[in-house]
Chains A and B, each alone.
Chain A
């Protein structure tokens, strides 16, 4: 049964507020958590010493915090629908903690992916320091991935809202594992797009905003058969344009 309008608005408001606050934090960038500082690399390429130096300048823990904040800022609006779904499917007293378990499962997957992605970023910044080439290469990969049937498959899986058990341990376990599977499909569809802004030397934040918009948008599209499809899936943009038109016409 659908949630009441009020409950839906509350969920939307809380999630979007958290996301916006995190965005503000990221844009202020306290302690440079979102930027990898570079060390000089010898002509022989990355060495153990340079890796060590890079890690000292950018401890993995602080990079993971930065990554986590980025995931929260960018991904939370994407999981409004599954959280509404969990609220509708659960006993009232369980709702909040089941939603929290879902988010925990979901973010965990992105954090695990983050370890690999940060590793890749560090390796690339040692290999070709201060260059936009890796970003361009990843952008090309992201575009191919974007139009591929496999990405569509991941997006389709993201629409699977399994039926959740209502009671006890089973309910909790199911919400957590729903978070993990939903996170897996999200990483599967969006990994390349997430990597791209991380590799940019400049315009990092703008790219992140653009990618967020794209990712929210593509998750709003209906599932469709997996095949090569040259489409950026800009449903959110279409909705914004259509709703603006409707409001302007009403005013006129």
Chain B
């Protein structure tokens, strides 16, 4: 028997509990099965709560999460968990040591571990559905393909069944979770698909990756080899895990932003007008307001205060890259900051710099006004009359406390029933990558392939284990057992097969983004005659620049300078000067090292010399920053290939630099009291 996992929208009457003929959909049986699992206490290994804790938990001081926090996200503070879960009586340490806190992230074990987790979960649920509830004996876990471009349903939205408070039989719907806040923190849950200016859209570009195992330069599809050491500096996240997996976790979970009347509202600030009112009254010591730049690609977000400046080009809300208003021009609203920067004031008081994002000071009262930092009265020349463009800003209330949705944190995510539909989709993508994409998982012929097949125990770590019954009988498995969905080796070596009714390689990205050595060489030589070239095995990775100190991020943009070491940078410049296929130009990487904090649900967009180089999701940062976990408290490390920017510097004749300007922008304001620290920003070359 081969079970078929089906689309939660298309094959469930548009994400509903009942079909048009009145019969129940897979989603209904899922909800009923979840109800049964949730009625069991946490001490039962087949309970909902036990299964969620297998992924991660904040309840007991156990391996994985370290000391459980006393307040939220401690499970005892999670409203979704009813008292019948009996959290006060957890399972014995023998079981929690074996089963809990197993989730594999920032690791090449991410795809196989989650596959086994879903298979064990699906079997427990099917037993309940068939034996206890008399449901469909062929039931399989539905998947939520948020990247599906269906014209029938808006599949980027969470399926309707997850938004209803009751089931058709009138009982509470266990699929409905209050602690699920969505990308805007207003409980409207959907996945942001389609180009965003800050690069934070979900996509399935990873499906075009041709190699499973990541290297020091690229995450690969499945992630980098996970040896005995798993701290932030040694782990490599694969493409599938990064986006869409991490992205979707954050967008679904989100951060409760206590919506106010102006939440998410936008306003266009014109460059050629003085102070423009937002209509928002700031109340002293009241809710704080964050002003950010709209991420809507169609919204205007560039302007200039002087068309003669910046070679006539418009710039963003950070203002002119060349001109800082000097102190001898006091009739500008602000001196000592860039001309043309976005600024604000409250109640006509002292202006403050906004740039691409800032929290509005709430120590005074009055109307919030915005404008461009320019000669507003024409005291020194043309004033506002020659200004061009506009900036679209967005207002978001800053949450008064840290309150993230369950899906945004690996220690909570398994509690939300949408988790399993999200992971069914990730598993579907992995299956399609193998089947349709004709790619291969690591094999014993590959270097280190045997280590992947044998699982973590090849490097002395615990093997994967899932409870298959209420006694806690373990099914031990390794990646070799689950590398295919057909004839997968389940408990007691019973073969188990399932498939998906859609194994298209991609749902959204229809072609891989152009990249590669040929493109680089053509660009560097200014010709177009290199048609095919593959990246050679570079032999050396070397630090060429670094920030001086650690950087504490602000809400919105934080700018810093990364100093470049002249001697090491000379090698990069030389390699670019040679630019032949035989002497392949260096690749240059920017790395954010040891990023620590607790704000899982945020995204960081990173800019070098004002050019976006990529965005990252902070999913998992809380656990990775805890000292007693496998990460050793070193947090997360992110890497961006910035060779393109360096190539442009070379072509423009500006390769001799002594620093790079790096700007890191948080997508959402930081919750009050929450700190994100970047241990160091470094620049590496990878070359011969």
A interface vs B, CB < 8 Å?
Answer: 1-4, 6-7, 81, 85, 88-93, 156, 159-167, 170, 220-227, 235-236, 238-239, 242-243, 245-246, 249-250
Contacts and interface: CB of A to CB of B under 8 A. Distances in A.
Given A166-B682, A167-B546, A246-B454, A85 B539 contact: no
B541 A224 contact: no
A156 B631 CA distance: 10
Nearest to A171: B546
A252 B538 CA distance: 34
Given A91-B565, A161-B634, A167-B563, A1 B627 contact: no
Contacts of B228: 220, 235, 239
A167 B548 contact: yes
Contact of A88 (B63, B461, B541, B630): B541
Interface in B583-639: 589, 591, 593-594, 627-630, 632-634, 639
Given A166-B565, A239-B228, A4 B541 contact: yes
Interface in B228-244: 228-231, 233-234, 236
B450 A163 contact: no
Nearest to B632: A159
Contacts of B217: 1
Contacts of A81: 229
Given A221-B460, A226-B628, 12 more contacts: A2-B224, A3-B216, A89-B682, A159-B632, A220-B460, A238-B460, A242-B454, A242-B457, A242-B459, A242-B460, A243-B458, A250-B450
Contact of A163 (B234, B545, B550, B627): B550
Contacts of A223: 627-630, 632-633
B378 to A, nearest CB: 46
B567 interface: yes
B565 A167 contact: yes
B26 interface: no
Interface in B532-568: 538-546, 548-550, 563, 565, 567-568
B680 interface: yes
A156 B543 contact: no
A160 B233 CA distance: 11
**Interface size class for chain B?**
35 or more
A93 to B, nearest CB: 7
Contacts of B62: 225
A72 to B, nearest CB: 23
B454 A92 contact: no
Given A1-B639, A166-B546, A166-B565, A160 B229 contact: no
Centre residue among B67, B450, B539 by max chain A CB count within 10 A: B450
A239 B459 contact: yes
B231 A161 contact: yes
B628 A2 contact: no
A1 B229 contact: no
Contacts of B589: 1
Contacts of B229: 81, 220
A166 B67 CA distance: 33
B679 interface: yes
Interface in B639-688: 639, 679-680, 682, 684, 686
Contacts of A226: 628
B451 interface: yes
Nearest to A220: B228
Contact of B568 (A2, A3, A91, A245): A91
A159 B457 contact: no
Interface of B: 61-63, 66-67, 216-217, 224, 228-231, 233-234, 236, 444, 450-451, 454, 457-461, 538-546, 548-550, 563, 565, 567-568, 589, 591, 593-594, 627-630, 632-634, 639, 679-680, 682, 684, 686
B234 A2 contact: yes
Nearest to B455: A242
Nearest to A89: B543
A7 B542 CA distance: 11
B546 A85 contact: no
Contacts of B679: 162-163
Contacts of B682: 1, 89, 166
B543 A4 contact: no
13 contacts: A2-B233, A90-B543, A91-B544, A92-B542, A166-B545, A166-B546, A166-B680, A166-B682, A222-B230, A223-B629, A227-B61, A239-B459, A243-B458
Nearest to A157: B627
Which 8 pairs across A and B sit closest by C-beta, in order of nearness? A159-B632, A166-B546, A163-B679, A2-B216, A235-B460, A238-B460, A239-B460, A163-B680
Contacts of A89: 543, 682
A85 B545 contact: no
A165 B562 CA distance: 12
Contacts of B216: 1-4
A161 B61 CA distance: 23
B459 A160 contact: no
A238 B457 contact: yes
Contacts of B450: 246, 249-250
A90 B539 CA distance: 17
A218 to B, nearest CB: 11
Of the listed residues B229, B538, B544, the one surrounded by the most CB atoms of chain A closer than 10 A to its CB is B229
A89 B591 CA distance: 11
A238 B458 CA distance: 8
A221 B227 CA distance: 11
B632 A161 contact: yes
Nearest to A238: B460
A161 B680 CA distance: 12
Query: Which of B67, B460, B589, B591 has the largest number of chain A CB atoms within 10 A?
Result: B460
Contacts of B563: 166-167
B633 A246 contact: no
Given A220-B228, A224-B63, A225-B67, A246 B451 contact: yes
